[in-house]
């Protein structure tokens, strides 16, 4: 199991705390320090859709200029943005045996990790 995100994100902190409290081990991957590849993002997008991966409610998205926002129209353009601005990726991303979960909710993690 691998958890992707950035350590100062509140939602990532909740996910990490939940996993620790449940005594579930995982490998940690920090977007900011370790980056992400277009292949990884493409695999995630194929499974959950690029729309779910781009966090349009976050500060990073809101700070983008209108032309950049308007240019995100498909998987390729979304991946290009996420490669350039990893903070725009909705967090955390959990890879549990190849099943991708984006964001955190106790119910989803409990169901996924049974």
Question: Does this model's pTM top 0.85?
Answer: yes
From the candidates 3, 4, 5, 9, which is the catalytic residue? 9
**Per-residue model confidence (pLDDT) at position 77:** 98
9 an active-site residue? Answer: yes
Look at the chain and report how many structural domains it folds into: 1
Range of the domain at 86: 2-112
Provide the total of helices (H) and of strands (E) in the chain, helices listed first: 8, 4
For residue 92, is the peptide bond before it cis, meaning its omega torsion is within 30 degrees of 0? yes
Q: What is the CATH number of the domain that holds 30?
A: 3.40.30.10
State pLDDT tens for residues 50-63. 999 999 999 999 99
């Amino acid at each position: 199991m691998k958890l992707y995100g950035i350590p100062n994100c509140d939602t990532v902190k909740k996910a990490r705390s939940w996993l620790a409290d449940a005594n579930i081990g995982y490998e940690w991957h920090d977007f900011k320090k370790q980056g992400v590849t277009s292949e990884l993002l493409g695999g995630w997008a194929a499974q959950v859709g690029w729309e779910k991966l781009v966090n349009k409610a976050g500060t990073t998205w809101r700070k983008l200029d209108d032309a950049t926002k308007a240019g995100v129209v498909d998987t390729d353009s979304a991946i290009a943005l996420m490669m350039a601005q990893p903070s725009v990726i909705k967090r955390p991303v959990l890879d549990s045996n190849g099943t991708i979960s984006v964001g955190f909710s106790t119910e989803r993690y409990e169901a996924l990790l049974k």
